[in-house]
A and B are shown apart, each in its own frame.
Chain A
Amino acid sequence: EAQVTQNPRYLITVTGKKLTVTCSQNMNHEYMSWYRQDPGLGLRQIYYSMNVEVTDKGDVPEGYKVSRKEKRNFPLILESPSPNQTSLYFCASSAGFSYEQYFGPGTRLTVT
Chain B
Amino acid sequence: RKEVEQDPGPFNVPEGATVAFNCTYSNSASQSFFWYRQDCRKEPKLLMSVYSSGNEDGRFTAQLNRASQYISLLIRDSKLSDSATYLCVVNTGGFKTIFGAGTRLFVKA
Contact = CB atoms under 8 A, between A and B. Distances in A.
Interface of A: 33, 35, 37, 40-45, 48, 50, 56, 58-59, 88, 90, 97-98, 100-101, 103-106
B43 A42 contact: no
Given A88-B41, A103-B44, A48 B97 contact: yes
Interface residues of B, number: 21
Contacts of A98: 31-32, 91
B46 A45 contact: no
Nearest to A58: B96
Given A98-B31, A98-B32, A100-B34, A44 B99 contact: yes
Contacts of A58: 96-97
17 contacts: A37-B41, A40-B8, A40-B101, A42-B100, A44-B99, A45-B99, A48-B95, A48-B96, A48-B97, A56-B95, A97-B31, A97-B91, A98-B32, A100-B34, A101-B46, A103-B43, A105-B43
Interface residues of A: mostly helix, strand, loop or mixed? Answer: strand
Interface centre among B32, B44, B45, B102 (most CB of A within 10 A): B44
Interface string B13-52: 0000000000000000001101000000111111001000
Nearest to A105: B43
Contacts of B43: 90, 103-106
B98 interface: yes
B49 A35 contact: no
Contact of A42 (B32, B34, B87): B87
A108 to B, nearest CB: 8
B97 A101 contact: yes
Nearest to A4: B43
